[in-house]
Amino acid sequence: MQAIRIHETGGPEKLRVDDVPLPAPGPGEVRIRVEAAGVNFIDTYQRSGLYPVALPYTLGSEAAGMVTAVGPGVTEFRAGDRVGSAKVAGAYAAEALAPVAQLVRVPPGVDSRTAAAVLLQGMTAHYLACDTFPLKTGDTALVHAAAGGVGLLLVQIAKRRGARVLATVGTDEKARLAREAGADEVCIYTRDNFSAAARQFTGGRGVDVVYDAVGKDTFTGSLDSLRPRGMLVSYGNSSGPVPPFAPLLLMQKGSLFFTRPTLNHYTGTTVELQARAGELFRWIGAGELNVRIGATFPLTAAAEAHRALEGRATTGKVLLLP
């Protein structure tokens, strides 16, 4: 079968189309025929070497499709079940393995492309708004990269919880998408100072929370956007990792809180995973959450998909279709 692997780290040109054996599921695993695989920034971090992996390595952790085989002792799923997971081992492939403990059923009203588009990014947006800084009515939030896959979902969930949202984006077209998702105000950061916009948005006080997927380029400005005792939630590194800083800086900026969460710690149990994914699927089925698929690429065009994502040329979710 075809799989997209890296044999050495570097740019998108390091992605290779390899012919590899069909994987056999072990105990507690199923094999999925991948109908859609999500392209995420973590894939680019692994490809570049920012997040080290054992080589050769098949990229991708998010996919939806149909179970084709189950491993020894697996009774929860069987061949033919429609499933999805954000913990797939090598989702950039025709078929891939996934642990049963991190597998969810895809309901009849949700197609595989939508499921693949919402699992990793949707559950990320869910834990950010519902758990890391649990938004409530009247809270103010600054959402960076608001026209991206997580950003558009995060804006919608934040509004569901009653928050006021200031979104940052890079272009007028992305600003339109952020407003359609429910953002109260939008700052085009390529033209305007988003920290000043955050102060204006809150009458000079500063926002309660900044959700920052950008990292290095926005770190200082994000701190400057917060009210005293506000929280900076740094959950991505699209511009590079946040540089080392002294904890004293948080005191100087207003006794701020800083956290660097990851989805693994918010889906650590099957119960939590099912609850988080289940709520997203219910909102989608009821027409209360819009999942934007911004671009699809054939599996063999994975390098092109990475270039588009890293070049910030995409909106919403990017998918590979085997």
pLDDT of residue 220: 97
Q: Which residues are CB-neighbours of 233 under 8 A, at least 6 positions away?
A: 128, 132, 133, 209, 210, 211, 212, 259, 261
Q: How far apart are CA 21 and CA 275, in angstroms?
A: 35
Backbone torsions φ then ψ of 6, nearest 5 degrees: -110, 140
287 has pLDDT over 90: yes
Closest listed residue to residue 232, CA positions, set 217, 248, 213 = 213
pLDDT of residue 315: 85
pLDDT of residue 313: 81
User: Structure pTM?
Assistant: 0.91
Q: Which CATH number fits domain 137-260: 3.40.50.2000, 3.30.230.10, 3.40.720.10, 3.40.50.720?
A: 3.40.50.720
- 267 touches 99 (CB < 8 A): no
Which sequence spans correspond to the domains of the chain?
A: 2-119+264-321, 137-260
Q: How far apart are CA 133 and CA 217, in angstroms?
A: 22
Q: Could you report the per-residue pLDDT of 145-176, keeping only the tens digit for each? A: 999 999 999 999 999 999 999 999 999 999 99
Q: How far apart are CA 269 and CA 87, in angstroms?
A: 13
Q: Could you report the per-residue pLDDT of 74-131, keeping only the tens digit for each? A: 999 999 999 999 999 999 999 999 999 999 999 998 999 999 999 999 999 999 999 9
CATH topology of domain 2-119+264-321: Quinone Oxidoreductase; Chain A, domain 1 (3.90.180)
Q: Could you report the per-residue pLDDT of 122-152, keeping only the tens digit for each? A: 999 999 999 999 999 999 999 999 999 999 9
**Averaged pLDDT, 171-199:** 97
Closest listed residue to residue 158, CA positions, set 179, 180, 182 = 182
pLDDT of residue 316: 87
314 has pLDDT over 90: no
Return the percentage of the chain with pLDDT > 70, whole number.
100
Q: How far apart are CA 277 and CA 279, in angstroms?
A: 5
